[in-house]
Amino acid sequence: MVTEMNLRIEKVRETDIGLVLSLIKDLAAYEKMSDAVVATEEDLRHALFSDPPRVEALIAWLGREAVGFTLFFSNFSTFLGRPGLYLEDLYIKPQWRHQGFGRRMLAALAQLAVDRKYGRMEWSVLDWNELAIKSYREVGASPLKEWTTWRIVGSSLEHLAASAPSTSSKLAMGGADEQT
C-alpha cells in the first residue's frame, strides 16, 4: 500500500532536467496551456544550475517514480523587509492525487521558508482549479482578493524596454541579473 510516508522530496539534480521538463509539459496539459510551453532542457539547466541559480526545484518520489514537482524562487517583501518564497509551480500527477503528496510538498517548502527566515510564501492558482484551492485553504492559505496579477511578455516587454533611458542598460552590467 502506498502512503505519504513512502514519499521522498529531493532537490532536483542536473540529471533530472528532462524529467522536470516532462512534468512541466504534463502540468501545462492539465492547465490547458500546452501551447505555452517553449522552455527547453537547456533553459531549465541554466535557470536551475547557473551561479547563482535563478530558480529551485524539488521532485517528489515514490521509489524510483517521480509523482510530482515544485519550482520556486525567492522574492522580497518591502513591507516585511524580508525575502519570501514564490511557488511558481506545484504539480502532482493525476494518479497520485488525493494522497497528501501536494500537502507534503507545500510543507517541505514551508519548512524551507522558515529555515531561511523568509516572511511568507505565495503563489497563484487558476480560478477553476477547485482541488488546489480547497487544498490551499486547508493549510491556512488565503487569496489576496485586493491584488491582481499583471504580466507583460514578448513584443510588449521588448517595446517597453526600448523606451528605457539609456543609463538603464548599465543596470544589468555586473548585477545579479546579468545574463551569461
* Catalytic residue flag (residue 118): no
User: Going residue by residue through the chain (180 aa), what tens digit of pLDDT does each one get?
Assistant: 455 568 999 999 999 999 999 999 999 999 999 999 999 999 999 999 999 999 999 999 999 999 999 999 999 999 999 999 999 999 999 999 999 999 999 999 999 999 999 999 999 999 999 989 999 999 999 999 999 889 999 999 999 999 988 766 667 655 554 444
Q: Count the alpha carbons within 13 Å of 92 in the hemisphere toward its beta carbon.
A: 21
- The domain segmentation of the chain, as residue ranges, is 4-148
**Catalytic member of 86, 91, 118, 136:** 136
Task: Centre a 10 Å sphere on the Cβ of residue 82 and count the other Cβ atoms it contains.
Answer: 13
Do the Cβ atoms of 126 and 149 come closer than 8 Å? no
Q: Which CATH number is 4-148 given?
A: 3.40.630.30
For cell 517553449, name the residue: 38
How far, in Å, CA of 107 to CA of 120, rounded? 13
- Tell me the pTM: 0.87
Q: Count the alpha carbons within 13 Å of 71 in the hemisphere toward its beta carbon.
A: 19
